[in-house]
Chain A
Amino acid sequence: MNWKIATLGLGAVMVLLTAFSLSNVVMGFTGGTIHVSIPEAQLQGVSMYGGSYDDPVPVVVQEVDQLTCPQGQVITREMTLPGPITIVVELSMDTATLSNVLMKAQNLVSTNGTLENVEMWVEDVPQGLVQTIDGGTMNNLETDIYFVSMASLAYENLKIELIY
């Protein structure tokens, strides 16, 4: 009888240790933000408004009908693996065209640009402020995002690298 209890106890400890280890790995991949850097972003059909991601994290939601990056884009994600080891995963492409993009961002900056038919108005929270843009070019666009989805992505020369 005692050996049965001991085996069950050991089993439970093993399960807990495995769970902790896995959650540690998983935690390295989730949470935080992904940095996107686009030297030249040509946009069509943009709407921007307040929202939330994984409630209650407040975000700036951006919807873009078409996003063309003639000089490509670089996407970087810093991750901490058990050890702890910090690595950076970098995805880069020489050119990229994305359609029906949905981004949930923490912030967005751009050094300069020209936008056409900009419209901004106030709405109730969570949207708060809503902005629509028919089209334009944003140079040196940098954004930290929690989430991104798109209907399609066409690219040239994709590279995925791990930087230690």
Chain B
Amino acid sequence: MALQLKKLLPVLAVVLSMFAVGAMAHPLPPPAPLRIPFLLFENLEQYADNYENTSVLVTELSWMRCPSGQLLEGSTFLIRMDYAEGTGVRMLAENVESQAGQMGNLRLEWDPDKQRYVIRADNGWMENVYAPVYRVVLGTLHYENLRVVLS
């Protein structure tokens, strides 16, 4: 009986350690889908980064305008606006999709400070943008017809 218990101990240790690792590595909540029918921007910068142990795509814009508004679908409530204009935008997304677009002076270059490749564009527009976001930061935001409603 004691021998059988001894044999079981390593298995038990492995199972317990898996539980401990699972408890420590708290996964991020699911991202909130952000939908923008049309986006105008200036000074785009895009690069991969790590956010709370999750790989994310960082998008920074010095200026943006959403003439047809935008919709952010949180798990508890939705934020919708018919028009939005913002400065100092920083968005951490799982990925970014767009149906069509145009970028002026686009380049992919090595950033020695960030120690990674960065996509940069001076200006442009993107149509039907879809980005599941973990975090969004705006220096200023001007909006029209804002609605916050329960999901």
Contacts and interface: CB of A to CB of B under 8 A. Distances in A.
Q: Is the interface of B mostly helix, strand, loop or mixed?
A: strand
Contacts of B150: 58-60, 106-107
Report the interface size class on chain A: 35 or more
A58 B135 CA distance: 22
A50 B143 CA distance: 22
A45 interface: no
Q: Is the interface of A mostly helix, strand, loop or mixed?
A: strand
Interface stretch (B71-79, B98-106, B108-116, B117-125): B71-79
A138 B142 CA distance: 10
A148 to B, nearest CB: 16
Interface string A115-130: 1111111111111110
B28 A129 contact: no
B67 interface: no
Nearest to A120: B136
Contact of A119 (B135, B148, B149): B135
Nearest to A127: B76
A105 B76 CA distance: 12
Nearest to B90: A119
Interface string A95-121: 000000000011111111111111111
A131 interface: yes
8 contacts: A60-B150, A107-B148, A109-B146, A120-B136, A121-B135, A122-B134, A125-B76, A128-B151
Interface of A: 48-51, 58-60, 105-129, 131, 136, 138
7 tightest A-B contacts by CB?
A50-B76, A129-B74, A128-B76, A128-B75, A108-B148, A121-B135, A118-B138
Given A110-B145, A118-B138, A131-B79, 12 more contacts: A60-B77, A114-B142, A115-B141, A117-B139, A118-B141, A121-B134, A122-B32, A122-B75, A122-B134, A129-B76, A129-B77, A138-B146
